[in-house]
Amino acid sequence: MRNRHLNIGLVGTGNVAWHLAPAFEDAGHRVVAVYGRTPKRTKEMASRLYDAEILDAPDFSGSGADIVLLAVSDDYIGEVSENVAVDNGCLLVHCSGNVNVKALWTGHTSEIGVFYPLQTFSKNKSVDFETVPFCIESSSEASAKMLVGLAESLGSEQVSEMDSNQRASLHASAVFACNFTNHLLVMSKKICEKNGVGFEMLHPLLAETINKAMEIGPENSQTGPAKRRDFQTLEKHMDLLKDMSEAQGIYKTLTESILDLYGERV
């Protein structure tokens, strides 16, 4: 199953679709048709592919697609699944970490699933799919094998089958690990810029923080004034941030969380 070349239909032109579509073709599959809400972006997507047909509506019937992938925002999955048309037996899947697989039970096909790449995607940054974990869920064993084979064809060595509740929990965890962490880096950069300090000075610290957390576990890696209960330093930082109310509020909330978590260890 791993070596089977698939005909793939794609709905969406966002970051995930932007990277997955050419990766599929590089792996020997064929993207037969693409649909997106914005004609200009859909044409841009199709220009990255060999000969994908641009659709005016999400109607993939007659396209020969073995699988139709909904690489769209979570709030749009239900609407698209209601309106998509596929051939009988075609596997309809979404790429969301949070949306239940049952959202695809709309009567258009008996085969549904989830193909969730656990990674952050930006159009201007390449992705090495060999390092990307994939979370798979499906309505049948045959569909599961197809999705596992598709992920493995991209080079991934981390393919896991999990149900919708497990995947949603993983997604929430990923928001903490990725999205919230990046937002904190944005705040950190603003503090540096406001005070004439180069953000690049923090780069070695960032690398060591992540490497250490992965090596010995984040629960064993916490350092800093809140962990040490260095209240004079905490008060000084709060004063320094008095003109940056958003950053000050986040600092206070996270400080209290660290104090609560490690209080009994002092």
User: Parallel, antiparallel, or unpaired for β 134-138 and 111-117?
Assistant: antiparallel
Is residue 2, in this structure, part of any structural domain at all?
no
Q: Are residues 40 and 158 in the same domain?
A: yes
Mean pLDDT value across residues 50-76: 96
Of 162, 177, 198, which residue constitutes the final position of a domain? 162
Q: Are residues 117 and 77 in the same domain?
A: yes
Is residue 1, in this structure, part of any structural domain at all?
no
User: Which residue, among 104, 109, 83, 106, has the nearest Cα to 94 in the 3D structure?
Assistant: 104
pLDDT band at 3 (very low <50, low <70, confident <90, very high): low
Hey, what are 152's tokens? 């493995």
Q: Are residues 68 and 139 in the same domain?
A: yes
Is residue 219, in this structure, part of any structural domain at all?
yes
- Asked if residue 162 lies in contact with residue 137, where contact means CB atoms within 8 angstroms, the answer is yes
User: What's the domain count of the chain?
Assistant: 2
- Asked if residue 30 lies in contact with residue 180, where contact means CB atoms within 8 angstroms, the answer is no
Of 144, 162, 180, which residue constitutes the final position of a domain? 162
Average pLDDT score over the chain: 95
Q: Are residues 219 and 149 in the same domain?
A: no
Residue 4 predicted with pLDDT over 90: no
pLDDT band at 263 (very low <50, low <70, confident <90, very high): confident
Intra-chain end-to-end CA distance of the chain, in Å: 55
- pTM of this structure: 0.92
Q: Are residues 125 and 193 in the same domain?
A: no
Residue 1 predicted with pLDDT over 60: no
Specify the CATH number for the domain of residue 187.
Answer: 1.10.1040.20
Is residue 235, in this structure, part of any structural domain at all?
yes
Q: Are residues 34 and 132 in the same domain?
A: yes
Of 104, 130, 162, which residue constitutes the final position of a domain? 162
Q: Are residues 56 and 110 in the same domain?
A: yes
pLDDT band at 107 (very low <50, low <70, confident <90, very high): confident
Is residue 125, in this structure, part of any structural domain at all?
yes
Q: Are residues 150 and 187 in the same domain?
A: no
Q: Are residues 31 and 133 in the same domain?
A: yes
Specify the CATH number for the domain of residue 124.
Answer: 3.40.50.720
- What 8-state DSSP symbol labels residue 266? -
Q: Are residues 93 and 204 in the same domain?
A: no
Q: Are residues 93 and 135 in the same domain?
A: yes
pLDDT band at 266 (very low <50, low <70, confident <90, very high): very low
pLDDT band at 235 (very low <50, low <70, confident <90, very high): very high
Q: Are residues 149 and 230 in the same domain?
A: no
Is residue 12, in this structure, part of any structural domain at all?
yes
More confident residue, 158 or 108: 158
- Rounded Cα distance between 221 and 213, Å, is 6
Mean pLDDT value across residues 77-100: 95
- Rounded Cα distance between 96 and 58, Å, is 18
Mean pLDDT value across residues 148-174: 97
**Per-residue pLDDT tens digits for 19-47:** 999 999 999 999 999 999 999 999 999 99
**Per-residue pLDDT tens digits for 117-137:** 999 999 999 999 999 999 999
Helix (H, G, I), strand (E, B) or coil at 9: strand
Is residue 257, in this structure, part of any structural domain at all?
yes
The share of the chain scoring above pLDDT 70, in percent, equals 98
Q: Which domain holds residue 18?
A: 7-162
Is residue 237, in this structure, part of any structural domain at all?
yes
pLDDT band at 255 (very low <50, low <70, confident <90, very high): very high
More confident residue, 107 or 70: 70
Task: Give the max Cα distance, the chain.
Answer: 70
Provide the CA 61 distance to its chain's centre, in angstroms.
29
**Per-residue pLDDT tens digits for 7-16:** 999 999 999 9
